[in-house]
Structure 1
Amino acid sequence: MMLHIPEVLTKQQVTELRQQLDTSQAWIHGQHSAGIQAQKIKQNLQIDVNSIIYQSLSPKILHAIQQNSLVKSAGLPKHILAPLFNCYQHDGSYGNHVDSAVQYSTATGQPIRTDVSITLFLSEPDEYEGGELVVEDHYGSHEVKLDAGDAILYPATSLHRVEAVTAGKRVAAFTWLQSMVKDDWQRSMLFDLDMTIMKLRQQVGDSEEIIHLTSHYHNLLRQWGDL
């Protein structure tokens, strides 16, 4: 499942973040965080995770993601890794790849299974040319280029890439989460059911049928969830 999540950050929050990121001296080559294979295809910059600015800004992004109702419903997070920041410019790109299955928490060292990837755009689409996030699935290729403050959530198992940025600068935050429900199809079914229940509740209130549907939702989560 791919899901566009609007307004994870407000425009004011984006502006304040960008002012700090654009003047930071903590940008390093993205290859420092890449595996052997990815080093050959990864051409971008990332904020050094040991820098003061990273330690200041990453928790703010994490808090916004943790509080977002659509992330909660679609991702069913068990753990969310501290977000990272990247920048693409001067023909920078990231070729086709699949994210590592396991990442480690910078806070605890705990291994986290990466079920879901999240990219939070911090540049407006007209600030740069190219730079589309392209996600491949069974239904083809999907190009993503969202407004600043919006995020895309998609399965971490997906083959994906970032096209070359031929002009301007594309800045984003990104992270992964381990879901309580490992299987993407099951997460999608639960999300659709949750959204349907909420819409019906707005229309008819807590009817007996809504209560039954809600019970089915929670029993499915018990059946499929890994808590």
Structure 2
Amino acid sequence: MLLHLRQVLKPDELSLARSLLAQGEWMDGAATAGGQALQSKNNQQLRQASVASQQLRTLVLEALNRHAQFFSAALPKKIFNPLFNRYSGESNYYGNHVDGAVMHSRADGQRVRSDVSCTLFLAEPHEYDGGELEVSDTYGSQRIKLPAGDMVLYPSTSVHQVRPVTRGARVASFFWVESMVRSDEQRRLLYEMDMSLMALRAEQGESETTVRLTGTYHNLLRMWADT
């Protein structure tokens, strides 16, 4: 499931994030790349130990914790600590790759299985040319370039790349989610059912039908979830 989440960051949070990023300490992104990625990763990454990075991580995690649609879509069990990258100048692309299956966080030491990959855009589309996130799956390739503060979720099993930035700077946060429901297909079904239930509840309130369907949703989640 590839999903666009709107306004994950509020305007004041986005403004603070951009201010912190402008003061950030950037390093070669290849320093954190694995074997496959090392050959194709050409960007910059905010130093994890920096004060700016720590403040930004807290900001993003707090935003995720209140975002009901993110919870419904990802059903998070663990969230890898958010990281931040920049594509500009000579460090301007990340070629085709698949994310590693298990990510080891240097910030808190935990290991997170990558079920869902997330990119939270922190630069406006008009501020840079190129830089689209291109995700390839069974339905073909999709190119994504979202407003600042918006986020895209997609399966970590997908081949993807960041296309070359030819003007300006593309800045984003990226991280992974280990979901309570490992199967992308099952997560999609639960998400679609949850969204339909919300619409039905808005139309009918807590009718007998919504109560029964809500029970079905939770029974499926109980069957599939691993906490």
* TM-score range normalised by the length of the shorter chain: over 0.9
Computed over aligned residues only, the root mean square deviation of the Cα atoms, in angstroms, reads 1.1
Structure 2 matches for 1:183-198, cutoff 5 A?
183-198=183-198
Q: CA shift at 1:12, angstroms?
A: 2.5
Partners of 2:22 and 2:132 lie apart in 1 by 20
Query: Partner letter of residue 47 of structure 1?
Result: L
1:33 aligns with 2:32: yes
Q: CA shift at 1:23, angstroms?
A: 2.6
Alignment partner, residue 71 of structure 2: 72
Alignment partner, residue 58 of structure 2: 59
Partners of 1:222 and 1:17 lie apart in 2 by 37
Q: CA shift at 1:138, angstroms?
A: 0.4
List structure 1 segments (4+ residues) > 3 angstroms apart after TM superposition.
105-108
The answer to which of 35-44 and 173-182 deviates more is 35-44
Deviations 1:27-58 (A, max 9, x none): 00000110122111111000111112111221
Gaps of 5+ in 1: none
Deviations 1:61-91 (A, max 9, x none): 1111122111100000001111000000125
Partners of 1:96 and 1:66 lie apart in 2 by 30
Query: Partner letter of residue 40 of structure 2?
Result: I
Q: CA shift at 1:177, angstroms?
A: 0.6
For the residue of structure 1 that corresponds to 2:35, the secondary structure is coil
Identity, % of aligned positions: 49
Q: Does the CA contact (< 8 Å) of 1:11 and 1:148 recur in 2? A: no
For the residue of structure 2 that corresponds to 1:87, the secondary structure is strand
Gaps of 5+ in 2: none
Deviations 1:180-222 (A, max 9, x none): 0000000000000000011000001111111110010000001
Q: Does the CA contact (< 8 Å) of 1:81 and 1:177 recur in 2? A: yes
Alignment partner, residue 165 of structure 2: 165
Q: CA shift at 1:14, angstroms?
A: 1.4
Q: CA shift at 1:110, angstroms?
A: 2.4
Query: Partner letter of residue 39 of structure 2?
Result: K
Query: Partner letter of residue 23 of structure 1?
Result: Q
Query: Partner letter of residue 71 of structure 1?
Result: F
For the residue of structure 2 that corresponds to 1:55, the secondary structure is helix
Query: Partner letter of residue 186 of structure 1?
Result: Q
Q: Does the CA contact (< 8 Å) of 1:131 and 1:165 recur in 2? A: yes
Alignment partner, residue 222 of structure 1: 222
1:125 aligns with 2:145: no
The answer to which of 75-84 and 51-60 deviates more is 51-60
Partners of 1:144 and 1:79 lie apart in 2 by 25
Alignment partner, residue 147 of structure 2: 147
For the residue of structure 1 that corresponds to 2:148, the secondary structure is coil
Alignment partner, residue 50 of structure 1: 49
Q: Does the CA contact (< 8 Å) of 1:119 and 1:172 recur in 2? A: yes
The answer to which of 109-118 and 172-181 deviates more is 109-118
The number of residue pairs the alignment matches comes to 226
Q: CA shift at 1:107, angstroms?
A: 4.7
TM-score norm. by structure 2 comes to 0.97
